[in-house]
Structure 1
Amino acid sequence: MGRPRTPLLSPERIAHAALEIVREQGDFTVAALAAHLGVRVSSLYNHVRSKSEIIQAIRRERMIPVLEGLRDEPDPRRLLELLIRDYYEFLSGVPQLIPLLIAEPIRQPEMIAYYDLIARSIARMGVPEEEVAAALGLLEGYVLGAAMDLLSEPFDRQDMDEAPHLRAAMDHRDGDPRRLRAFETGLAIALRGLAAATP
């Protein structure tokens, strides 16, 4: 019998399978991933060295095409907005992935380039160099928090009887299951804040 035209395993296929398990179960083990793919654990290790490397591959597979598509956008604010919006779109689809990503330092040159592009865009908006890291952390924290918020309801309706403003705000949010409108509004506020803070 000849070899299949498409290899049974590749880093990309492993990353996609791991993401499926995370979406369903909130985490994955290498053993569970091997079982999901119908291969031996040793076969996985021919393509990836560790769970950490698989998590890095998940991030890389999703973010690098975005980097390539937006690298030449000339307007720094528009570029920053598109990068942040796409990051949220990714994470809001699988918020269970966020704790795994947070636990992994960013090591790949491609992902360092991705964050360098964000830092460059912030700087080109006029943010002083000494404040760029804080601005980057603010934006990333906002995306992570907004996506994690999809996993639970922060307030019980019964507890908001004496909080009419909060109830009204939550009523608006609840009509948007992915909370995209709320995210877009918050992002616009953050970007306006960055622009207003520039000297």
Structure 2
Amino acid sequence: MARPSKPLISRAAAVAASIEIIDSEGLEAFSLPRLAKHLGVRAPSLYHHFSDKSEILSAVARQIAGAGPMPRRKPGPDWPEYFVTLSLNLRRSILKHRNAAPILLQYLPRDVLIGTYEETAAFLEASGVPARLHVQILDGMERLTLGAVLTEAMRPPSTKSTIFPNVDPESQPMLARALTENEMTSKQLFEEMIRSFLYGVMRNEDGTE
């Protein structure tokens, strides 16, 4: 399809409008005609910035995942806390847009959490983390964080008592007791999961030396 000679809208405005539609009406309501109507233009105007719907959805995924602030990256023994904060920021951004979880699952590039691999590897090196552990940490962080957050985003919001929903105290007494004694929210459980992974990698390394 031919693109108009002059853009009637900006790329950023189209991405923002796409997110508004998906947030308020659901992913199934999103289409190029619906987006064009929301922006007050004709559908061909969108092709000045995007080649197709997939390119728009990819931009939406990047926008949502990149909305959180980047924590300060200071090398040192507490380097895992940088990744914990990074993961919490990503979780916050994604959970603001739960309807977009399927888009993120399909279109989110794997470098969105870590950023530049070379710079992050240099940060780990400067923090005293052996190079043989870098791939385990970088790959593990992406898999663990994105898997946990996108799974949470595709479920209804939970409280401490509904982390495992529909638990019957009579037939599931042990799980019911565990839920009663759990003092952490979903956010706190996520945070401790990330922290346990990172510090666990180093504990395993120390145990082999």
**Alignment TM-score, normalising by the size of structure 1:** 0.71
In our comparison, the structure showing a higher alpha carbon Rg is 2
Contact kept in structure 1, 2:114 and 2:138, CA below 8 Å: no
Change (3 A) 1:183 1:79: same
Aligned mate of 2:136, from 131, 136, 139: 131
Change (3 A) 1:93 1:165: farther
2:59 pairs with 1:57:
yes
Q: CA deviation at 1:135?
A: 1.3
Tell me the distance in 2 between the aligned counterparts of 1:141 and 1:196: 23
Aligned mate of 2:188, from 176, 181, 185: 181
Tell me the distance in 2 between the aligned counterparts of 1:171 and 1:9: 53
Q: Which amino acid aligns with 1:59?
A: A
**1:160-179 equivalences in 2 (<5 Å):** 160-170=169-179, 179=186
Tell me the distance in 2 between the aligned counterparts of 1:56 and 1:94: 15
Change (3 A) 1:190 1:52: same
Match of 2:100 in 1: 97
Match of 1:148 in 2: 154
Calculate percent identity across the aligned residue pairs.
25
Contact kept in structure 2, 1:34 and 1:41, CA below 8 Å: yes
Change (3 A) 1:80 1:59: same
Change (3 A) 1:55 1:175: same
Tell me the distance in 1 between the aligned counterparts of 2:35 and 2:178: 41
Change (3 A) 1:122 1:26: farther
Tell me the distance in 1 between the aligned counterparts of 2:91 and 2:37: 30
Q: Which has the higher contact order (CA 8 A, sep 6+)?
A: 1
Task: Indicate the SS of the match to 2:171.
Answer: coil
2:88 pairs with 1:81:
no
Over the residues paired in the alignment, what is the CA RMSD in angstroms? Answer: 3.6
Task: Indicate the SS of the match to 1:103.
Answer: helix
Structure 1: which 5+ residue stretches go unaligned?
A: 1-6
Match of 2:17 in 1: 17
- How many residues matched? 187
Change (3 A) 1:165 1:18: farther
Task: Indicate the SS of the match to 1:114.
Answer: coil
Contact kept in structure 2, 1:15 and 1:57, CA below 8 Å: yes
Tell me the distance in 1 between the aligned counterparts of 2:42 and 2:153: 34
Q: Which amino acid aligns with 1:140?
A: L
